[in-house]
A and B are shown apart, each in its own frame.
Chain A
Amino acid sequence: MLENHQRQDLYRFFARIFSYPDHFLIEDLDAEVATVVGLLSAEPPTDDLSPLLSDLQVGYTELFISKHGGVPAPPYGSVYLEEAGQLMGQTTLCVRQAYEGEGLSHEEGGEPPDLISTELEFLYYLVGKEIAALSEDDLSMAHTCRQKQVDFCHTLLQPWVKQFCQRVLQVEGSVPLYRWSAGMLLAFCMQEEELYGVS
């Protein structure tokens, strides 16, 4: 079972890896991957995971922004959860309200709030709050924070994240880092499901 700070690290990693890549990511990549391998007791990736930034940006664009055959894995929850696969559905509003309920505002301008990386960032935040509550022996608050994670995951993230990851895994010739990360996210989500079952 993962510790809370480990869970938080993983949420931070996945939020970062599913954001548009920049040179900071390239600099940190080896360390980031090593952390995930350790935490999830996973096999290290067999492919070269030291891509050039330009390759990573093209790969990200192909998978999540624009690609032959349409966007293979749109990184927005409503595409999977709404009829006709549209952006900004009712579930997107629920996601936004979940953020607002925590006193958080969405700062990414025109980006729909149910972007995978933003939802993972939200969970990073909730786990952090739980950690802070536990450090102050505020068990009631810690419980509340855990319950919010469970609710958010069960209703708004888990129903589509597996499908999202599977779509990433199915795209032949895509950047290995994203395929590996999708596999890791799947594994992590299964662990989280188990944890939430206990919770």
Chain B
Amino acid sequence: MARLIDKKLSRRRFLGTSSCALAVATVGSQTTVLKALASSGKVTTSKGAGTKDVFTACGMCVNKCGVIARVRDGRIHKLDPNPEFIKSRGMLCARGNAGVKVIYDADRLKYPLIRVGKRGEGKWRRASWDEALDLVAKNMNEIAEKYTRAGVMFASTEGTFQEHFFLQMAECFGSPNTVRHPTLCLSSNIQGFGATYGTNPTPDVLNADYIIMAGANRSEALITPDSIDQLKGDGGRRKLIYLDPRFTKTAAKADEWYPIKPGTDLAFILAMINVIISEGRYAKEFVEEMTVGFDKLVPHVKPYTPEWAAKETEIPAEDIRRIAREFAAAAPKAIYYQGRRSSFFTNDTQLRRAMAILNAIIGNWDTEGGMVPNSKIKLVKHDYLAPWYDDVPERIDKGSAAFLSEKDGSWINLRNRVLEAKPYPVKGMMIYKQNVVMSVPNRAKTLKMMDQMDFICTIDIVMSDTAWYSDVVLPEATYLERQDPLESLSGILPVVAFRQPCVEPLFESKPNLWIMQNLAKRLGSEVAETFDFTMDEHIHHQVSKNPQILKDLKSKGVHYMKVLPTYGLTKGKRLKTKTGKIEIYSANYAKKGLDPLPTYTKHEDVPANKFRLLVGRSAIFTHGTTANNAYLHDIMPENTLWLNTLSAKKMGLRDGQRVKVKSRVGEGTLKLEVTEKIRPDCVYMAHGFGVISKGQSLIFDRGACDAALIEDKVEPISGNAAMHQTFVEVSPA
């Protein structure tokens, strides 16, 4: 203690006004210059020290590809793909390469910040971790005391490897109100395929001879290994049919592209099923043995002829019929690819059910080139005993969707109930790296919800719009600075991924485990005890039943058990459905009053003088998280509004001019891109621009934000957002 005081006094003196001819002050054996520099009297050099190659996993998007960080003189010089990482086929995309910029971004969060001005005004002061965490704990406890522990909601996102600890904090604090990204993304996919197969299988893209991709833009919305495999094919026999109102880069690589009328994909699939059944092209033995409810499907699809579907989809009947025949002929090495994001329309779960059923009747289940159930390498789970609290109500969004995920919730439903304080008030937000302001449809409502909060704390690496509207912002170390727990990535070829610190964290950023542990200490011993472990202990516990995993990760950056797929493991076994078979007819749905077989319903047509707003991805950006990255920003500095040439001509609008886009819930201004690459009744803008936070200096005031425009419509079975049911007006800005 005495030495610490001495040191403080000495620093004070030398920083102070008294001049001193001696250049350094001696504090014990340590000599301090003024504040930041100290002398040992020995000349050293760090050149060459800290030069190493480090295996880690990318953190720029959901895929977590294997990376080798080339560290030179203690600084990350370059990121290279790990050729051993079979899931990404030894590849690293533009975003992965640009990861260096994440760590060395001058706009990154550096220290804990406490809001000083009004919320959203942008006035902050730097705080110590102790002060910031004390404030967070105080507010969490006060809200819990006043409104029950459910009064604090916990929003987080997937893909960070340290999200588990945040969810653990939510559970141990005692709030049921966790809300995650799936209902802005793939929850209807999980629900639709899960209801049919008991799982959401992976399409074996590499080995399929015939692939139909509908709205799954794999050349730009990158998913490994599919994005690479779709281009490889098997000996040139591959045929790719692509359905999308936009001519995307996937369309450019496809054999055939159909600009399907948005919202009619279900008609296309039902007509394909109609053709395959009526012409006896289905896998009869497989259907007999492995499915239930086929007998009910036969009359159900009778009205759904290609001629009927042609009127709905605007795809010629002869093409639908031919594609159905080709698809069945290629079976079982044919897949109707379900994609990942499925937050399109309010019937999305039924659409995914139809996709699952179409795949089932051609017998492509668990076969080469078909739909393959995921394998996963087991890691030992971290167990903890969460404290029990008596007075906590159920989730605020309970009952808002037919099949609501207890952990994920339904984002739009949850927000809207929080706004109404029904059935109880939620007054605190803890947010872990989810940019809710940019990603939840109807931004105005999200901001209104945040206005209602007594307290908001955001943990992130950048000053996102959500962080900007917070009261306390805590800087997490970036993925290149952290040791993360091991992550088992399921798939046809499952792997365990590894993330280790390539360099020390810059500034005062900390890994999320450290943040949670130090917050837990302030919330009481019961919560703190559940976090009483080190990262090293955690990792060794994960591999306690198979230490080879860690050895492989250290020596080659990835662990896998096989390099060739294994098919047919589920043959002769019960599936994880109620009947143990593929449920073409869902008695479970019938019991809940839902259509047990997918039934087509028409969506509202585009009103006169308006356009349907489509949202989508760019291969350069990951949602709203990477647009402020200087390397990526250089390639795509802003988003534009795609408008068909004919529509632009009719309206007297020209390429490059600025236009105003207005929906029922918001508006935005951005540059017009007049193009043939979109249907005349639709407009499109890339996600991730039009930010409110001026803390993101490259993209502030650039482009428009789709979340500000999209109406908050919800798919009722899974609670997923319906993001393609917003109509907009376009006018000169």
CB distance from A10 to the nearest CB of B (A): 10
B-side contacts of A169, CB under 8 Å: none
Q: Closest chain A residue to B693 by CB distance?
A: A68
On whether A65 and B122 interact (CB within 8 A), knowing A87-B506, A107-B32, A121-B37, the answer reads: no
Q: Are B44 and A100 in contact (CB under 8 A)?
A: yes
Q: Closest chain A residue to B113 by CB distance?
A: A66
Q: Are A104 and B38 in contact (CB under 8 A)?
A: yes
A71 to B695 Cα, complex, angstroms: 7
CB distance from A113 to the nearest CB of B (A): 8
**B-side interface residues, number (CB < 8 Å):** 65
For residue B507, CB closer than 8 A to chain A, the reply is yes
Q: Closest chain A residue to B127 by CB distance?
A: A57
A97 to B520 Cα, complex, angstroms: 40
Annotate B23-36 by CB proximity to A: 1 below 8 A, 0 otherwise: 11000000011111
Q: Are A65 and B113 in contact (CB under 8 A)?
A: yes
Interface residues of A in 89-116 (CB under 8 A from B): 89, 92-93, 96-97, 99-112, 115
Q: Which of A8, A35, A105, A126 contacts B44 (CB 8 A)?
A: A105
Q: Are A32 and B33 in contact (CB under 8 A)?
A: no
On whether A105 and B37 interact (CB within 8 A), knowing A76-B106, A97-B45, A125-B24, the answer reads: yes
Q: Are A132 and B21 in contact (CB under 8 A)?
A: yes
A178 to B123 Cα, complex, angstroms: 17
For residue B525, CB closer than 8 A to chain A, the reply is no
Q: Are B507 and A110 in contact (CB under 8 A)?
A: yes
A99 to B42 Cα, complex, angstroms: 11
A189 to B14 Cα, complex, angstroms: 22
Q: Are B34 and A15 in contact (CB under 8 A)?
A: yes
Q: Are A118 and B104 in contact (CB under 8 A)?
A: no
On whether A103 and B106 interact (CB within 8 A), knowing A35-B17, A62-B123, A109-B508, the answer reads: no
CB distance from B732 to the nearest CB of A (A): 27
Q: Are A128 and B506 in contact (CB under 8 A)?
A: no
For residue A60, CB closer than 8 A to chain B, the reply is yes
CB distance from B122 to the nearest CB of A (A): 5
CB distance from A197 to the nearest CB of B (A): 24
A-side contacts of B405, CB under 8 Å: none
For residue B630, CB closer than 8 A to chain A, the reply is yes
CB distance from B82 to the nearest CB of A (A): 23
Q: Are B19 and A5 in contact (CB under 8 A)?
A: yes
On whether A110 and B505 interact (CB within 8 A), knowing A16-B34, A57-B126, A66-B109, the answer reads: yes
Interface residues of B in 1-33 (CB under 8 A from A): 12, 14-17, 19-24, 32-33
A177 to B308 Cα, complex, angstroms: 75
Annotate A110-147 by CB proximity to B: 1 below 8 A, 0 otherwise: 11100101100110111111011001000000000000
For residue A85, CB closer than 8 A to chain B, the reply is yes
For residue A43, CB closer than 8 A to chain B, the reply is no
For residue B326, CB closer than 8 A to chain A, the reply is no
On whether A121 and B33 interact (CB within 8 A), knowing A86-B630, A128-B22, the answer reads: yes
Q: Are A97 and B507 in contact (CB under 8 A)?
A: no
A103 to B36 Cα, complex, angstroms: 13
A16 to B15 Cα, complex, angstroms: 6
A-side contacts of B110, CB under 8 Å: 65-66
On whether A135 and B21 interact (CB within 8 A), knowing A66-B113, A115-B36, A125-B33, the answer reads: yes
For residue B509, CB closer than 8 A to chain A, the reply is yes
B-side contacts of A92, CB under 8 Å: 75
For residue A58, CB closer than 8 A to chain B, the reply is yes
CB distance from A110 to the nearest CB of B (A): 5
Interface residues of A in 22-80 (CB under 8 A from B): 24, 28, 31-32, 35, 54, 57-58, 60-62, 65-71, 74, 76, 79
Q: Are A70 and B113 in contact (CB under 8 A)?
A: no
Q: Are B47 and A104 in contact (CB under 8 A)?
A: no
For residue B463, CB closer than 8 A to chain A, the reply is yes
CB distance from A78 to the nearest CB of B (A): 8
Q: Are A15 and B35 in contact (CB under 8 A)?
A: yes
A68 to B504 Cα, complex, angstroms: 28
For residue A84, CB closer than 8 A to chain B, the reply is yes
B-side contacts of A31, CB under 8 Å: 17
For residue B555, CB closer than 8 A to chain A, the reply is no
Q: Are B630 and A84 in contact (CB under 8 A)?
A: yes
Q: Closest chain B residue to A11 by CB distance?
A: B34
On whether A112 and B123 interact (CB within 8 A), knowing A100-B46, A107-B36, the answer reads: no
For residue A12, CB closer than 8 A to chain B, the reply is yes
Q: Are B126 and A20 in contact (CB under 8 A)?
A: yes
A101 to B107 Cα, complex, angstroms: 30
Q: Which of A16, A58, A70 contacts B124 (CB 8 A)?
A: A58
A-side contacts of B634, CB under 8 Å: 84
CB distance from A149 to the nearest CB of B (A): 12
Q: Are B47 and A97 in contact (CB under 8 A)?
A: yes
B-side contacts of A76, CB under 8 Å: 106
A-side contacts of B256, CB under 8 Å: none
CB distance from B551 to the nearest CB of A (A): 31
Could you say which interface size class chain A belongs to? 35 or more
Q: Please choose the segment from B195-203, B338-346, B696-704 that sits at the chain A interface, where 4 or more of its residues have CB less than 8 A away.
A: B696-704
Q: Are B15 and A108 in contact (CB under 8 A)?
A: no
Q: Are B694 and A70 in contact (CB under 8 A)?
A: yes
Q: Are B36 and A117 in contact (CB under 8 A)?
A: yes
On whether A24 and B123 interact (CB within 8 A), knowing A58-B116, A86-B106, the answer reads: no
Q: Are B126 and A88 in contact (CB under 8 A)?
A: no
Q: Closest chain A residue to B633 by CB distance?
A: A84
A77 to B15 Cα, complex, angstroms: 22
A-side contacts of B43, CB under 8 Å: 100-103
Query: Which of A68, A104, A126, A135 is the most central at the interface, judged by chain B CB atoms within 10 Å of its CB?
Result: A104
Q: Closest chain B residue to A84 by CB distance?
A: B630
Q: Are A70 and B46 in contact (CB under 8 A)?
A: no
A86 to B506 Cα, complex, angstroms: 13
B-side contacts of A69, CB under 8 Å: 694, 697, 700
Q: Are B46 and A96 in contact (CB under 8 A)?
A: yes
Q: Are A70 and B44 in contact (CB under 8 A)?
A: no
On whether A12 and B34 interact (CB within 8 A), knowing A100-B46, A103-B43, the answer reads: yes
A99 to B124 Cα, complex, angstroms: 32
Annotate B549-564 by CB proximity to A: 1 below 8 A, 0 otherwise: 0000000000000000
Q: Closest chain A residue to B634 by CB distance?
A: A84
Query: Which of B24, B34, B73, B74 is the most central at the interface, judged by chain A CB atoms within 10 Å of its CB?
Result: B34
A61 to B112 Cα, complex, angstroms: 11
B-side contacts of A35, CB under 8 Å: 17
B-side contacts of A24, CB under 8 Å: 12, 15-16
A-side contacts of B45, CB under 8 Å: 97, 100-101
Q: Closest chain A residue to B110 by CB distance?
A: A65
Q: Are A57 and B125 in contact (CB under 8 A)?
A: yes
Interface residues of B in 361-394 (CB under 8 A from A): none
A-side contacts of B20, CB under 8 Å: 128
On whether A111 and B36 interact (CB within 8 A), knowing A58-B116, A86-B630, A103-B44, the answer reads: yes
Q: Are B104 and A87 in contact (CB under 8 A)?
A: yes
For residue A192, CB closer than 8 A to chain B, the reply is no
For residue B39, CB closer than 8 A to chain A, the reply is yes
Q: Are A124 and B35 in contact (CB under 8 A)?
A: no
B-side contacts of A131, CB under 8 Å: 21, 23
For residue B522, CB closer than 8 A to chain A, the reply is no
CB distance from A61 to the nearest CB of B (A): 5
For residue B652, CB closer than 8 A to chain A, the reply is no
Interface residues of A (CB under 8 A from B): 5, 8-9, 12, 15-16, 19-20, 24, 28, 31-32, 35, 54, 57-58, 60-62, 65-71, 74, 76, 79, 84-89, 92-93, 96-97, 99-112, 115, 117-118, 121-122, 124-129, 131-132, 135
- 8 nearest A-B pairs in the assembled complex, by CB-CB distance: A70-B697, A128-B23, A68-B694, A86-B104, A87-B104, A118-B36, A74-B106, A57-B125
Taking A62-B124, A71-B106, A86-B105 as known contacts, 16 extra A-B pairs with beta carbons closer than 8 A to each other, sorted by chain A number, are: A24-B15, A32-B17, A65-B126, A84-B634, A86-B104, A87-B104, A100-B44, A103-B40, A103-B42, A103-B44, A104-B33, A105-B44, A117-B36, A118-B36, A128-B21, A131-B23
**Cβ contacts A to B, 12 pairs, < 8 Å:** A5-B21, A12-B15, A12-B19, A28-B17, A70-B700, A87-B106, A88-B104, A101-B45, A104-B38, A111-B36, A124-B33, A126-B23
